[in-house]
Amino acid sequence: MALSDLLLLGRGNDLASERGVSCTGELPAASDPSLVARAVAARKSLGSRALVLGHHYQRDEVIAFADITGDSFKLAQAAADTHEAEFIIFCGVHFMAESADILTSAQQKVILPDLAAGCSMADMATASQVNECWKVLEELGVASKTIPVTYMNSSAAIKSFTGKNGGTICTSSNAKAAMSWALEQGEKILFLPDQHLGRNTAVLSLGLSLDDCVLWNPWKPMGGLTQEEIRHAKIILWRGHCSVHGRFTLDNVQAVRAAIPGVQVLVHPECQHEVVSVADVVGSTEMIIRTVDASPTGSKWAIGTELNLVQRLAKKHPDKEIVFLDKTVCYCSTMNRIDLPHLVWVMESLVNNHLVNQIQVDSEVAQYSRLALTRMLAL
């Protein structure tokens, strides 16, 4: 991206001035015309002391300064493989920064530019709710043959529960491998916290039926299920979802196919089952990018994933027709909390030997989380 484009991005972001600051100190003004130059200078000053990780759903103004760009799986691997950098600046959301802290050394510091950058899906499964669910499974005598598989989009506490109970973490890239492994270890899977990824993987990748899956509602006694339903199920899905991917509907698919003859529908497996079932291609964020990159000139794509990425792909491939699957705009609101003012503030603070917004996971939680994450990386 040209410096002139970045300068426009730095001046054009008015959202930061409307937000509360996530920690002590003042953020640079979003309208500061020197913001990009300040970012360049701070990044140069930090040099190899810092590694900036940028998730694909981040804004362009942030991605421009990322040393490594990827999905949660790729960035988790990058964090685990990085030993030289003193600071890991994670431009993503809270659960990702937690995973990075778990996988890096005690001497390395993981920083989240805005502490308010969370994940609504991760918040849909709390430690107390999951422990209550497990207690029910123990009382029914099925916990010993149930393997937890937890999506990366979860808190460190849930990852710790998973590691402690013999389970593994998965991402959308390796959900099939993780669930296949779990079914070799036991008879059932407790899949947390995204019901759609769990259901789609079970039915479309593992050949199970919808009847093999039940939905655990943490707000109802015994998850809203009968003892027989729990005992019969192969997959116990948690009632969680992604607020972005969950919004795509069958109507969206039908409308875009009617509007653009020959269009191919490419969606993320966090989408609803009825959407994934009729899509032309289904895959992780990295797979979506690879698919579009490899497609021929003139191809047409309607993509069901976060809008920042769809717009970036459209700019990258002007020879192809690339549209957002939903006709209404939908950014991930928590991902978008990370912006250039926050990134500049964090980097300049580090240049001035002031550590801010460090993410630290409790040592016991980290121990069992690391066990589950290590199992994932091994897969």
- Given this model, what pLDDT does residue 120 score? 87
- Given this model, what pLDDT does residue 173 score? 86
- Given this model, what pLDDT does residue 329 score? 66
Kind and range of the H or E run holding 170: strand 168-170
Question: In the predicted model, what is the mean pLDDT of residues 146-165?
Answer: 96
Given a cut of 90, is residue 287 above it in pLDDT? yes
Kind and range of the H or E run holding 157: helix 156-164
Question: In the predicted model, what is the mean pLDDT of residues 254-266?
Answer: 97
- The segment(s) of the chain belonging to CATH 3.40.50.10800 are 3-118+334-361, 122-242, 245-324
Three-state DSSP at 369 gives helix
Q: pTM for this structure?
A: 0.84
Largest CA distance in the chain: 64
Given a cut of 50, is residue 94 above it in pLDDT? yes
pLDDT tens digits, one per residue of 308-362: 899 999 999 999 999 999 877 677 777 778 999 999 999 999 999 999 999 999 9
> In terms of CATH architecture, what is 3-118+334-361?
3-Layer(aba) Sandwich (3.40)
Given a cut of 50, is residue 16 above it in pLDDT? no
- What is d(CA 81, CA 77) in angstroms, rounded to the nearest whole number? 6
Report the candidate in 105, 22, 93 with the shortest Cα–Cα distance to residue 53.
93
- Given this model, what pLDDT does residue 379 score? 81
- Given this model, what pLDDT does residue 1 score? 41
Domain 122-242 CATH class label: alpha beta
Three-state DSSP at 268 gives coil
Q: Tell me whether residue 196 is exposed, middle or buried, using C-beta atoms within 10 angstroms of its C-beta: 0 to 12, 13 to 18, 19 or more.
A: buried
CB atoms within 10 A of CB 268: 29
- Cα 282 to chain centroid distance, Å, stands at 16
Structure tokens given for 229: 């339903």
Q: Higher confidence at residue 46 or residue 335? A: 46
Question: In the predicted model, what is the mean pLDDT of residues 117-144?
Answer: 95
The CATH code that applies to domain 245-324 is 3.40.50.10800
| % of residues, the chain, pLDDT over 90 | 73
How confident is residue 8, by pLDDT bands cut at 50, 70 and 90?
very low
